[in-house]
């Protein structure tokens, strides 16, 4: 018993450990009503079919920390095939991790089977990385193969208890993020756990436990061996965390940016580029935290923009400024294609850059053509971002803000009078829609 308590407090799970610590509903703050009805129904059905089932992972952690969970995951002792048989509206997915998607109308919950950690050497490569992770196990084993103690808590809707095998409950009370087991070994198995630590700590306001954090700098190189698609997925989660600015600072401090983009480090510099990048990260966080979406292409366009801007070297009096921009875009695109940015995004990124030149021309038929460009909205938002950084005048952004509101039949007339704002007001009355309404209608928002 004493050994078990010591193990829990030091994050050292013992395989011999029998029962978990049970935290009753009098002690914890989770209300049964906070559990998604779909997850609650699935768990109840699995119980009726004679299986164990719990809410697990991020949802339990978020509820204990007072956040609204993004999704609810369920874990059970039923195998994927058994789960599939219980729910008509379900399907087995995944090869490496086989789990079941169970649908309740439009809602979907992932149901996975308790998995065991791997100790057999043939399941890991020479560097200790996990190759397969699909051996079923007990609830206790399932807890200790998870990454952080706060991610290894189970909620039982029947008893309304939280089950804790690794000391995660106390850690939620201390706002502490602690790896389960021996830190270096856990990072060798899966280096992405280091990035997950940064993201979860920044997003949830947790302190990373010193022993969890101390190997980061030395082990940063392990991330170079991670497949780029996985790094990309994790980076997108960082972008969407609402704490990108803080996470980037940590990513750079621990040297993880070498495996992502070296560019991220530029945000630390006191230069014009540094300020621009910090602004980009802050604006991204503001959008996410006010419930708006962020397009990865927009963010990457911004991260690599200082490079394009420098090469472009725009001068108002140069009539060939578009040619210079295209050359700068082509050069920067070579760099882009050497990163993990998916090829499908590169065309969108180039469009956003290209529009920065086209948005400078307010004469003739050009503005109406630009308005019809597929990426106009993203290009316009990007222009606004640049105006916040002092790169272009607010007057230019205001002009485009007004121009979008003009009905197509009135545009030509309006343009004649408003090559620049401050020109004569159109003689004919134009119907204008509110900016708010327009924002809800457009879909190319970043
Ligand atoms: P988020 O709120 O971002 O979804 P999450 O903790 O739920 O956070 P998921 O990627 O959805 O993250 O993972 C679900 C659970 O699976 C985690 O809570 C954790 O228990 C486990 N897990 C995820 N990734 C790993 C990993 N790399 N190593 C070990 N366990 C992991
Ligand atoms: Mg999750």
Instruction: Specify the range with the lowest mean pLDDT, choosing from 156-165, 185-194, 259-268.
Output: 259-268
Closest-CA residue, ligand 1 atom 2, reads: 58
User: Which residue has better confidence, 81 or 431?
Assistant: 81
Residue 278 beta carbon below 6 angstroms from any ligand 1 atom: no
Closest residue by Cα to residue 305 from 354, 239, 347: 354
pLDDT at 226: 93
pLDDT at 124: 56
- Model confidence band, residue 83 (pLDDT cutoffs 50, 70, 90): very high
pLDDT at 365: 83
Q: 186 CA to middle of ligand 2, Å? A: 19
Q: What is the average per-residue pLDDT within 17-41?
A: 93
pLDDT at 132: 53
Q: 318 CA to middle of ligand 2, Å? A: 52
**Residue 161, beta-bridge partner list:** 156
351 among known catalytic residues: no
> For a substitution probing ligand 1, which of 146, 179, 231 has the most ligand atoms within 8 Å of its CB?
146
**Residue 104, beta-bridge partner list:** 107
Residue 351 beta carbon below 6 angstroms from any ligand 1 atom: no
- Model confidence band, residue 408 (pLDDT cutoffs 50, 70, 90): confident
d(CA 278, CA 24) in angstroms, rounded, equals 44
Residue 146 beta carbon below 6 angstroms from any ligand 1 atom: yes
Calculate what percentage of the chain has a pLDDT beyond 90: 68
Q: What is the average per-residue pLDDT within 92-120?
A: 88
- Model confidence band, residue 121 (pLDDT cutoffs 50, 70, 90): very low
Q: 163 CA to middle of ligand 2, Å? A: 18
Residue 73 beta carbon below 6 angstroms from any ligand 1 atom: yes
- Model confidence band, residue 237 (pLDDT cutoffs 50, 70, 90): very high
Residue 149 beta carbon below 6 angstroms from any ligand 1 atom: no
E-strand stretches of 357-444: none
Q: Is the pLDDT of residue 263 over 80?
A: no
Q: Quick one: CA torsion of 418, 424, 428, 433, rounded to 10 degrees?
A: 50
Closest-CA residue, ligand 1 atom 16, reads: 57
Q: Quick one: CA torsion of 76, 82, 88, 90, rounded to 10 degrees?
A: 60
DSSP string, 367-392: HHHHHTSTTHHHHHHHHHHHHHTTSS
pLDDT at 423: 35
As a whole number, the mean pLDDT across the chain is: 87
To the question of pTM greater than 0.75 for the whole model, the response is: yes
Q: Where are the domains of the chain?
A: 1-177, 182-267, 296-422
How many residues belong to the chain?
Answer: 446
Q: Is the pLDDT of residue 416 over 50?
A: yes
- Model confidence band, residue 66 (pLDDT cutoffs 50, 70, 90): very high
- Model confidence band, residue 426 (pLDDT cutoffs 50, 70, 90): very low
Q: 200 CA to middle of ligand 1, Å? A: 10
E-strand stretches of 171-274: 176-177, 207-208
Q: Judge whether 1-177 and 296-422 match in fold.
A: no
What angle (nearest 5°) sits at the alpha carbon of residue 166, between those of residues 174 and 129? 110
Q: Which tens digit of pLDDT belongs to each residue from 211-227?
A: 999 999 999 999 999 99
What angle (nearest 5°) sits at the alpha carbon of residue 57, between those of residues 56 and 62? 110
Q: Do the strands 107-113 and 73-76 form a parallel or antiparallel pair, or are they unpaired?
A: parallel
For residue 192, give the ligand nearest its CA.
Answer: 1
For residue 153, give the ligand nearest its CA.
Answer: 1
Are the CB atoms for 369 and 354 separated by under 8 Å? no
pLDDT at 440: 38
- Model confidence band, residue 197 (pLDDT cutoffs 50, 70, 90): very high
For residue 179, give the ligand nearest its CA.
Answer: 1
Instruction: Specify the range with the lowest mean pLDDT, choosing from 5-9, 34-38, 132-136, 190-194.
Output: 5-9
Are the CB atoms for 235 and 257 separated by under 8 Å? no
Q: Is the pLDDT of residue 253 over 70?
A: yes
Alpha helices in 77-177 (DSSP H): 80-86, 139-144, 168-173
Q: Please tell me the CATH code under which domain 182-267 is placed.
A: 1.10.110
Q: Is the pLDDT of residue 137 over 80?
A: yes
- Model confidence band, residue 441 (pLDDT cutoffs 50, 70, 90): very low
Q: Which tens digit of pLDDT belongs to each residue from 357-375?
A: 999 988 888 888 999 999 9
Q: What is the average per-residue pLDDT within 435-441?
A: 42
d(CA 72, CA 56) in angstroms, rounded, equals 8
pLDDT at 93: 95
147 among known catalytic residues: yes
Q: 57 CA to middle of ligand 1, Å? A: 6
Residue 96 beta carbon below 6 angstroms from any ligand 1 atom: no
233 among known catalytic residues: no
CATH entry 1.10.3090.10 includes domain 296-422: yes
For residue 203, give the ligand nearest its CA.
Answer: 1
Best CATH choice for the domain 1-177 from the list 3.30.460.10, 3.40.50.300, 3.40.50.150, 2.60.120.10: 3.30.460.10
- Model confidence band, residue 11 (pLDDT cutoffs 50, 70, 90): low
Q: What is the average per-residue pLDDT within 119-141?
A: 66
Calculate what percentage of the chain has a pLDDT beyond 70: 85
Q: 112 CA to middle of ligand 1, Å? A: 12
- Ligand 1 atom with least separation from CA of 146: 30
Is the CA virtual torsion 391, 392, 397, 398 positive or negative? positive
312, two tokens: 């472009």
Instruction: Specify the range with the lowest mean pLDDT, choosing from 126-135, 231-240, 279-288.
Output: 126-135
> For a substitution probing ligand 1, which of 57, 67, 236 has the most ligand atoms within 8 Å of its CB?
57
Q: Which tens digit of pLDDT belongs to each residue from 274-330?
A: 889 999 999 999 999 999 989 999 999 999 999 999 999 877 777 788 999 999 999
Distance of CA 366 to the CA centre of its chain: 37
- Model confidence band, residue 129 (pLDDT cutoffs 50, 70, 90): low
pLDDT at 414: 82
């Amino acid at each position: 018993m004493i050994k078990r308590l010591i193990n829990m407090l030091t994050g050292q799970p013992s395989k011999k450990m029998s029962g978990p610590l049970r935290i009753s509903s009098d002690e914890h703050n989770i209300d049964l009503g906070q559990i998604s009805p779909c997850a609650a129904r699935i768990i109840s059905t699995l119980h009726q079919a004679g299986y164990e089932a719990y809410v697990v992972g991020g949802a339990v952690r978020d509820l204990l920390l007072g956040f609204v969970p993004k999704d609810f995951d369920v874990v059970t002792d039923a195998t994927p095939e058994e789960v599939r048989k219980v729910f008509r509206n379900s399907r087995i997915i995944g090869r490496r991790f086989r789990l079941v998607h169970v649908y309740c109308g439009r809602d979907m919950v992932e149901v996975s089977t308790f998995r065991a950690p791997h100790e057999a050497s043939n399941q890991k490569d020479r560097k200790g990385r996990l190759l397969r992770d699909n051996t079923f196990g007990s609830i206790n084993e399932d807890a200790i193969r998870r990454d952080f103690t706060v991610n290894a808590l189970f909620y039982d809707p029947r008893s309304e208890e939280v089950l804790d095998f690794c000391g995660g409950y106390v850690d939620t009370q201390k706002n502490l993020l602690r790896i389960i087991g021996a830190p270096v070994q856990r990072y060798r198995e899966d280096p992405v756990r280091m990035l997950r630590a940064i993201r979860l700590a920044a997003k949830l306001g947790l302190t990373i436990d010193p022993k969890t954090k101390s190997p980061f700098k030395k082990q940063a190189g392990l991330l170079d061996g991670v497949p780029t698609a996985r790094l990309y997925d994790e980076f997108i989660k960082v972008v969407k965390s609402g704490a990108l600015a803080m996470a980037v600072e940590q990513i750079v401090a621990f040297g993880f940016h070498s495996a992502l983009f070296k560019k991220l480090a530029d945000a630390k510099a006191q230069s014009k580029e540094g300020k621009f990048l910090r602004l980009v990260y802050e604006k991204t966080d503001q959008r996410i935290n006010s419930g708006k979406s962020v397009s990865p292409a927009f963010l990457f366009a911004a991260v690599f923009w200082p490079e394009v801007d420098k090469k472009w070297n725009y001068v108002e009096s140069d009539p060939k400024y578009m040619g210079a921009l295209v050359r700068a875009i082509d050069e920067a695109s070579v760099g882009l294609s050497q990163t993990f940015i998916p090829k499908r995004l590169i065309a969108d990124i180039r469009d956003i850059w290209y529009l920065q030149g086209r948005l400078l021309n307010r004469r003739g038929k050009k503005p109406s053509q630009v308005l019809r460009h597929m990426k106009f909205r993203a290009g316009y938002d990007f222009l606004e971002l640049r105006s916040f950084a002092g790169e272009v005048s607010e007057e230019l952004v205001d002009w485009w803000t007004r121009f979008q509101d003009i009905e197509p039949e009135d545009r030509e007339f309006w343009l004649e009078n408003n090559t620049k704002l401050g020109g004569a007001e159109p003689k004919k009355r134009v119907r204008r829609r509110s900016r708010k309404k327009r924002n809800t209608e457009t879909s190319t928002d970043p």
